[in-house]
Structure 1
Amino acid sequence: MGNDTHIVLKAPDRSYLAILKKEIHNVCVSAGFSAKKISEIDIIVAELASNLVKHAGGGELLVKLVEENNIAGIEIISIDSGPGIADINRVMLDGVSSRQTLGIGLGSIKRLSDVFQLYSQKGWGTIVLARIFEKERPMSLKKTVTEIRSLVFPKTGEELSGDGFVYKVEKDKVKMFLGDGLGHGPEAAEAVRQAGNSFLDCNSCDPVEIIRSMNTAVKKTRGLVGTVVIFDMKSKSWKLCGVGNISTRITGPTISKNYIAYNGIIGMNLPRTLNVQEIEYEKGQLLLCCSDGLKSRWDLLRHNGILRYDLSVICACLVKDFARHTDDTSVAGCKITL
């Protein structure tokens, strides 16, 4: 399924910090980042991890290698359930600290990051997003009409995730697939890997045809549940079809709609009748898909202004509030701006 999986690194107390820093350092070395860029990432990780312990009583970092416009990078997301930040603008200033330190942590993270966002609520906690790229991105890059992000990580104690997310952006179509292999571990991961490969190989623009093709491709695996979403730029509409307990919701200025998937298992007992559900596009819409690694009644109602943030921050909010932590977990989001 590609490099869609985040590494989850816990930081419950100071004793974990050295291990955490070393692990992310090794990821950057393996990815071939320059010594200068690795040293900058080391500083970011040190500040994020230190903040988790000092100010939040612990938390976790989610780490994944990324690539945008053929430039390699790394995404680091810090999540905590600490006291939150009452005045974000103030704490971004150098010299401001609530713990009698130098007070340059968040400011230095922002300066060293190509993408930096911070979301916090008092009494709820804080999410920090940092993306750092190996090379400077061209200033002439046009803003894309499609934003797609995901958080996928395995059940605690497992190396492989049985959840997976893949997508492809074509000239007039955006195609996405979120799958959840039955159970967890290597066999679940293999089922969702084969399903993802089938999705990428299939040239159809019909979600039902894609799922039926996928059903044939994964017959020898333990099976999975999954949802296919296609956005058609010409007709300005979403087309969805899913089998099993993947939760999908489209929210917008005037419409908030849940998609109900069919009962069944891809690769084992696919329903004879499958139909595509079509939803009209409107400006400001957000599509979110989640596996059952999140509680079924998830929402973003308590997070004022969250829809203005990067999709990775939105996905992290859902993980923070609704992750079960007893299974593989995946959340994927898509925004289209026409």
Structure 2
Amino acid sequence: MNAPHHLRPLLTDCEDITWFRDQPEAARGAAAALGRRIALGEHRTGQLVLAVAELATNTAKHAVDGSLLLRVLRTPDVAGVEVLAVDNGPGMPDVTDALRDGMSTKGTLGIGLGAVQRLADTFAIHSQPGIGTVQLARFWPHPPPEAAKAEPAVAGITRALGGQDVCGDAWAVRADTGEDSAAEPAGDRRRERSDDLSGAPLSWSALTATRPATPRPPSPEPTGVSRRIPLVRAATLGPGRSILVMACDGLGHGPMAALAAQAAVQAFRTGAARSPEQAMEQIHRSLRGTRGAAVAVARIEPDGRVLFCGVGNITAALVTATNRTTLFSHPGIVGHQMSRLRTLENHLPARGALVMHSDGLSERWTAADLAPLLHHPPALIAAGLLRHAGTRRDDASVVIAKGGW
């Protein structure tokens, strides 16, 4: 029997992702075009444009290293527009005061953040003086479907390397209904693994010409990290509707990296795999002929049990306000060379989050860095972590899963 619709975690897909820096007019035009394209409605599109203008002008005039992200969100039933405004300072000493009517930063359209909050179906803000502000506003057609009123259980954010038009990082999420579909015969999986183990290992530098051939020394682990996580040869899948989350970093950057990432997303979304290992094997076959990628897949069970399988330099961790537990990934390059896969089994703590990100972010963040953000929606957490740990030397991506099960 299917679970009642209101008990299912909301999952969304993202498309038409565009970043703007010091471009209020361009952001307004893009918002208007998105609203028209997804049939948001003339009145609702006007409200979206007004909110984007306030956020973009605020960011351009008064933020430090500010940027604004526009993208389309899709559920099976409806499409909407999500806006994320991110900056590194100066921050707001009193967020409640900033949201009062009549409070608008000098030089903006004058509607104020309080009006943006009222216009949006979802509005969230996190600000710390001297650190910066992250804001999220989401717009659905009115009246929005009941399912769209929930907060997505999983959200990610991607940002291309400066000067690049495409991003070689990607993420995706899909539901597993709990029905055992014939993903592939066990014999095919055994042959696949046997092929993966043959031949000499391939180096990162040989494939990308951008990565050092010698391994980097490991970074010091943040306080609170625990690596005592059981490895299981073949994890048993639990009953009920689960969530599968994938993070992918195509090797290098630019169009060829983006091609590998897109192939991984397509294989993940269309594949019948229920376990992370099966999903990794399907993605591995799909990436042959591309430059390959680092990939991680997590399965979150209804009771919070997490099954994880990763290959390459995707950082994954279970995070609470006081602890960060890092999940181990196997060495290799998906699409070229994988060692025998194993699954990690752990449990998502109450009020915690699963975090996965590419090496476009430094690993040197701690649970304390994320603690002030954990009560916010996953998209705002992802944007906040990207602001804090993003390196700008590579494509970057973060995906966050929390709540909803």
- The two structures have a TM-score, normalised by structure 1, of 0.90
The total of aligned residue pairs comes to 330
Compute the RMSD of aligned alpha carbons.
Answer: 2.4
| Residue number in structure 2 paired with 1:55 | 62
| Residue number in structure 2 paired with 1:115 | 122
| Residue number in structure 2 paired with 1:276 | 343
| Residue number in structure 1 paired with 2:143 | 136
Query: 1:136 Cα deviation (Å)?
Result: 1.9
Query: 1:252 Cα deviation (Å)?
Result: 3.4
Per-residue CA deviation, residues 182-235 of structure 1 (Å, 9 max, x unaligned), is 11122111112112222223323221222122212211111111001011226x
Query: 1:66 Cα deviation (Å)?
Result: 0.5
Moved over 4 A (4+): 100-103, 138-144
Query: 1:67 Cα deviation (Å)?
Result: 2.2
Distance 1:102 1:267 in 2: 50
Q: Which runs of 5+ in 1 are unaligned?
A: none
Per-residue CA deviation, residues 14-39 of structure 1 (Å, 9 max, x unaligned), is xx322232233223223333221121
Distance 1:42 1:310 in 2: 22
| Residue number in structure 2 paired with 1:251 | 319
Specify whether residues 319 and 142 from structure 1 end up closer, same or farther in structure 2 by C-alpha distance, changes over 3 A only. Answer: closer
Distance 1:102 1:141 in 2: 29
Query: 1:286 Cα deviation (Å)?
Result: 0.5
| Residue number in structure 2 paired with 1:170 | 176
- The one-letter amino acid of 1:148's match is V
- The one-letter amino acid of 1:59's match is G
- The one-letter amino acid of 2:20's match is L
* Local SS of the residue matching 2:388: helix
Q: Which runs of 5+ in 2 are unaligned?
A: 1-12, 178-240
Structure 1 residue 267 and structure 2 residue 371: aligned? Answer: no
Counterpart among 89, 94, 110 of residue 87 in structure 1: 94
List aligned pairs for 1:150-229, cutoff 5 A. 150-171=156-177, 172-229=241-298
Query: 1:138 Cα deviation (Å)?
Result: 4.5
* Local SS of the residue matching 1:319: helix
Structure with the higher fraction of residues in strand conformation: 1
Specify whether residues 211 and 7 from structure 1 end up closer, same or farther in structure 2 by C-alpha distance, changes over 3 A only. Answer: same
Distance 1:132 1:65 in 2: 10
Contact 1:238 1:279 in 2 (8 A): yes
Per-residue CA deviation, residues 40-64 of structure 1 (Å, 9 max, x unaligned), is 1111011111211333256110111
Specify whether residues 134 and 246 from structure 1 end up closer, same or farther in structure 2 by C-alpha distance, changes over 3 A only. Answer: same
| Residue number in structure 1 paired with 2:306 | 238
Q: In percent, how many aligned pairs have the same letter?
A: 28
- The two structures have a TM-score, normalised by structure 2, of 0.75
- Computing the radius of gyration from Cα coordinates, the structure with the larger value is 2
Distance 1:142 1:23 in 2: 24
Query: 1:303 Cα deviation (Å)?
Result: 5.3
Distance 1:176 1:214 in 2: 13
Per-residue CA deviation, residues 110-143 of structure 1 (Å, 9 max, x unaligned), is 1110000111001111111100112322468785
Distance 1:309 1:3 in 2: 19
Query: 1:283 Cα deviation (Å)?
Result: 2.1
Distance 1:135 1:103 in 2: 25
| Residue number in structure 1 paired with 2:210 | none
Contact 1:283 1:337 in 2 (8 A): no
Per-residue CA deviation, residues 290-314 of structure 1 (Å, 9 max, x unaligned), is 0111112123514553111111111
